[in-house]
Amino acid sequence: MKNIKIRFFILCLCLSVTGYTSASARTEKVKTDIDWPAFMQKQDLIWEILPEYWYESAYMGNGMLGLMIYKEPGQNYIRFETGNCSVHDHKAGSDLFAIPRLLTGHFALHPEGIIVNGTMHLDIWNAETKAEITTTKGIIRLHAYVHANDMVMLVQTNATDGEKNFRWEWIPASAQSPRYLYAKGEGKWIKVPEDYSLNPAPEVKPEVSVQKLRAGGETAVAWKETRTKKNERTYWITVTHSYPEATAEKDAAQILDKALATGTGKLQKQHRTWWNHYYPSSFLTLPDGMKENFYWIQMYKLASATRGDRALIDNTGPWLTVTPWPNAWWNLNVQLTYWALNASNHLDLAASLENAIYNNIENLKKNVPEAYRKDALAIGRSSNLVCESGEIGIPGVDKAAEVGLLPWACHSLWLIYRHKMDDELLRNKLFPVLKQAINYYLHFTYKGKDGKIHLPQTYSPEYGSAEDCNFDLALLSWGCRTLLEITGRLNIDDPLIPRWKTILEELTPFPTDPANGLMIGRDVPYAFSHRHYSHLLAAYPLYLINKENPEEYDLIEKSLLYWQGKSGAHQGYSCTGASSISSALGKGNEALTYLDKLFTKFLSVNTLYRESGPVIETPLSAAQSIHDMLLQSWGGKLRIFPAVPDSWKDIAYKDFRAEGAFLITASRKNGKTEFITIKSLAGEPCIVVTDISSPVFKGKRQFEATALSESMYKIDLQKGEEVIIYSKGTQPDFTIRPVNNSRTNCFGKKKRS
Q: What pLDDT digit, counting tens, does each position of 661-686 carry?
A: 999 999 999 999 999 999 999 999 99
pLDDT at 753 over 80: no
Query: In angstroms, rounded to a whole number, what is the distance separating the alpha carbons of residues 365 and 378?
Result: 7
How many helices (H) and strands (E) in the chain?
A: 18, 37
Q: Check which CATH number belongs to the domain holding 480 and give it.
A: 1.50.10.10
> What single-letter DSSP state applies at residue 101?
B
Cα separation values, 111 from 121, 133, 139, 572, Å: 20, 9, 9, 38
CA 493 to chain centre: 35
Look at residues 225, 222, 200 and name the one whose alpha carbon lies nearest to residue 213.
200
Q: What is the pTM of this model?
A: 0.95
Of 500, 528, 556, which residue constitutes the final position of a domain? 528
* Confidence grade of residue 430 (pLDDT, cut at 50, 70, 90): very high
- Average pLDDT score over residue span 153-179: 97
Closest to 78 in 3D by CA, of 128, 126, 114: 114
Give pLDDT tens digits for 691-722: 999 999 999 999 999 999 999 999 999 999 99
- Per the structure, the complete domain to which residue 443 belongs is given by 346-528
CA 288, CA 638: separation in Å to the nearest integer?
24
Specify whether 240 is located in the same domain as 354. Answer: no
Q: Does residue 268 sit within a domain?
A: yes
- Arithmetic mean of pLDDT, 607-633: 95
Classified as helix, coil or strand, 630 is helix
Cα–Cα nearest to 59, from 134, 149, 124? 124
Please tell me the predicted confidence (pLDDT) of residue 27: 63
Query: Distance between CA 176 and CA 336 in Å, rounded?
Result: 28
Residue 631: inside a domain: no
688 backbone φψ class: left, alpha, beta (φ>0; ψ -120 to 50): beta
Residue after which a domain boundary falls, among 280, 298, 327: 280
Percent of the chain with pLDDT over 90: 93
Looking at 265, 280, 295, the residue that finishes a domain is 280
499-515 pLDDT, tens digit each = 999 999 999 999 999 99
- What's the number of domains the chain is made of? 2
Residues 368 and 253 placed together within one structural domain of the fold:
no
Element (H, E) at 7: helix 2-17
| Distance separating alpha carbons of residues 742 and 744, to the nearest angstrom | 7
Angle at 363 between CA 359 and CA 367, to 5 degrees: 140
Which residues lie below 8 Å from residue 101, measured CB to CB, with a gap of 6+? 85, 87, 88, 178, 314, 316, 320, 326, 327, 384
Contact 440, 463 (CB under 8 A): no
Residues 387 and 496 placed together within one structural domain of the fold: yes
Q: How many CB atoms lie within 10 A of CB 459?
A: 28
Phi/psi at 232 (nearest 5 deg)? -110, 130
Say how many C-beta atoms besides its own lie within 10 A of residue 516's C-beta. 17
The rounded distance, in Å, linking the Cα atoms of 666 and 394 is 48
Under 8 Å CB-to-CB from 699, ≥6 apart: which residues? 21, 27, 721, 722, 723, 724
